[in-house]
Amino acid sequence: MSAGDELKSDLSKALPAQSLIFEREDARPFESDWRGLVSNSAEAVLLPADTEEVARIVRICAHHRVAIVPQGGNTSLVAGAVPIPNRRQVILNLRRMRTVRSLDRTNGTMTVEAGLTLAEAKAAADAEGLLLPVGLASEGSCQVGGNLATNAGGVQALSYGSMRSHVLGIEAVLPDGRIWNGLRALHKDNTGIDLKQLFIGSEGIIGIITAATLRLHHKPNRFATAIIALDSLDAAMTAFLRLKAAYEHDLTSCEYFTSQGMALALKPPAQNRDPFGESHDAYVLVEVTAQGADRDPAASLADALAGLFEDDIVQDAVVAQSDTQRAALWALREDISEGERTEGGSVKHDIAVPISAIPSTVRRLHADLAKLFPEARLNIFGHLGDGNLHVNVLPPAGGAPDQLARFAPEITKLIEQSAISAEGTFSAEHGIGQLRLQSLLKYRTPLELELMLTIKKALDPLWLLNPGKVLPVEEE
């Protein structure tokens, strides 16, 4: 019996049939990343129904020295949840583990399994009048476990923080198959090293997150959403600073995009409409929230916008008058990435710089790209409030996507160097996965890399969990 047959035999004895996919055709959809850039085969796709099945899988794979690729909704933009080449590995997809184990309204917490989609988790909180404030365009597909493993950010991080900010406890299966139950629902717990933080943002390389206890917030009962048209990024920054000063934490989102982003969001199959009817150089989508009947964010936002008009900062603005209009405004921001896909894709980057460095960084990016590839289209959008910019380069209009291929390494170099020179980072919320390994080696210090490797080797000495992600495979 071959090594592959022995593995399949042991898995078949330990797991029910519905947890196993061995047929090549059935496995293929799990083997390619969302962008279609990476596709490598796995010996099996495993769909555990509970934490004990996850532990059983890990123990069997450790016995056979077969690597495991943890996978949630497979929405990674850096190929973090699909196999690498030339390695025996299985995919462990958590989509069947989607139970809300508990929801404590008084404590303001919920414990959910890792395969629950972010949208489902938010809906469960919403049903109790509570809020899980993580807003992602992929929330209908991405899963809580993946959100934790990548420390997802999103459009509400300005006020509420990234995913790490909402975690009180986790449950994880370690590389040797032991289950660590750290599902504490305590708002304060100062008893040694905060172990859960090791797993959050580690992209599944030291443990498989199977459940989490999340902190919830009281749900705002009033919203005001507006899209603002401006003539420059500098004007957008001025508008953001004015609004931030006026609202502080009640300003929950402040999203920036350009005429390029608007044009992409309007592309079919999206059914969006331009709220202004004419193009502007810059747009800012803002949302303000409030608790209680005595505060009217819509009236307050209207007053704030009036001041921006008086000072010639804003050229035009549209304020949502209903939930339907609010959703339509948000769709303009959320459909930019889908618009890029209809154009054949892009060279994607996810950088962050100090907020004060945003204008100078964007000017440098435009100047450097114009020298390297003047026909390319630069699409920059992102979260003004935390300095996170998605910097994407598309081929010339009507041009073939492969035109980018010969420039891709230099594009990556100039974008990352622009971020680093501004004391920023080359990856703000997308993570490292397979596609940013060399960047990690280049820009993190030797001591930082040594510490990461020390943790990895201590917990996973056989290098069985998500090999080739975050830390380069040659370090095995």
d(CA 153, CA 78): 15
Residue 432 maps to a domain: no
**CATH number of the domain residue 370 falls in:** 3.30.70.2740
**Cβ-contact 207, 180 below 8 angstroms:** yes
Co-location of 383 and 305 in the same domain: no
- The residues, ordered by sequence, that sit 6+ positions from 191 with a Cβ below 8 Å of its Cβ are none
Residue 442 maps to a domain: no
Co-location of 226 and 332 in the same domain: yes
**Per-residue pLDDT tens digits for 28-84:** 999 999 889 999 999 999 999 999 999 999 999 999 999 999 999 999 999 999 999
Torsion angle (degrees, nearest 10) of CA 100, 156, 297, 317: -130
Which of 218, 246, 279 is the last residue before a domain boundary?
218
pLDDT value, residue 474: 53
Q: Domain range for residue 375?
A: 343-421
**Cβ-contact 343, 352 below 8 angstroms:** no
Co-location of 187 and 245 in the same domain: no
Co-location of 206 and 236 in the same domain: no
pLDDT value, residue 12: 97
Co-location of 322 and 213 in the same domain: no
pLDDT value, residue 406: 85
Pairing state of beta strands 282-290 and 179-182?
Answer: unpaired
Which of 173, 194, 218 is the last residue before a domain boundary?
218
Co-location of 63 and 143 in the same domain: no
**CATH number of the domain residue 292 falls in:** 3.30.70.2190
Co-location of 192 and 228 in the same domain: no
Which of 218, 246, 273 is the last residue before a domain boundary?
218
Co-location of 242 and 308 in the same domain: yes
Give the Cβ contact number of residue 440 at 10 Å. Answer: 17
DSSP 7-30: HHHHHHHHS-GGGEE--HHHHHHH
Residue 42 maps to a domain: yes
Residue 429 maps to a domain: no
Q: Return the beta strands (E) in 142-280 as ranges.
A: 167-173, 179-182, 208-215, 217-218, 222-230, 251-258
Co-location of 253 and 301 in the same domain: yes
Residue 443 maps to a domain: no
Q: Which helix (H) or strand (E) holds 243?
A: helix 233-247
Co-location of 333 and 369 in the same domain: no
> Is cis: bond before 269, omega within 30 of 0?
yes
**Cβ-contact 267, 339 below 8 angstroms:** yes
Note if the pTM is more than 0.75.
Answer: yes
- Please report, in angstroms and rounded to a whole number, the separation of the first and last CA atoms in the chain: 28
Q: What is the number of domains present in the chain?
A: 4
Co-location of 119 and 137 in the same domain: yes
Residue 466 maps to a domain: yes
**CATH number of the domain residue 12 falls in:** 3.30.43.10
Residue 386 maps to a domain: yes
pLDDT value, residue 475: 45
Residue 415 maps to a domain: yes
Co-location of 29 and 89 in the same domain: yes
pLDDT value, residue 271: 92
Q: Is 2 helix (H, G, I), strand (E, B) or coil?
A: coil
pLDDT tens sequence for the chain (476 residues): 788 899 999 999 999 999 999 999 999 999 999 889 999 999 999 999 999 999 999 999 999 999 999 999 999 999 999 999 999 999 999 999 999 999 999 999 999 999 999 999 999 999 999 999 999 989 999 999 999 999 999 999 999 999 999 999 999 999 999 999 999 999 999 999 999 999 999 999 999 999 999 999 999 888 899 999 999 999 999 999 999 999 998 999 999 999 999 999 999 999 999 999 899 999 999 999 988 767 788 888 999 999 999 999 999 999 999 999 999 999 999 999 999 988 888 999 999 999 999 999 999 999 999 999 999 999 999 999 999 999 999 999 877 777 888 899 999 999 999 999 999 999 999 999 999 999 999 999 999 999 999 999 999 999 999 999 999 875 44
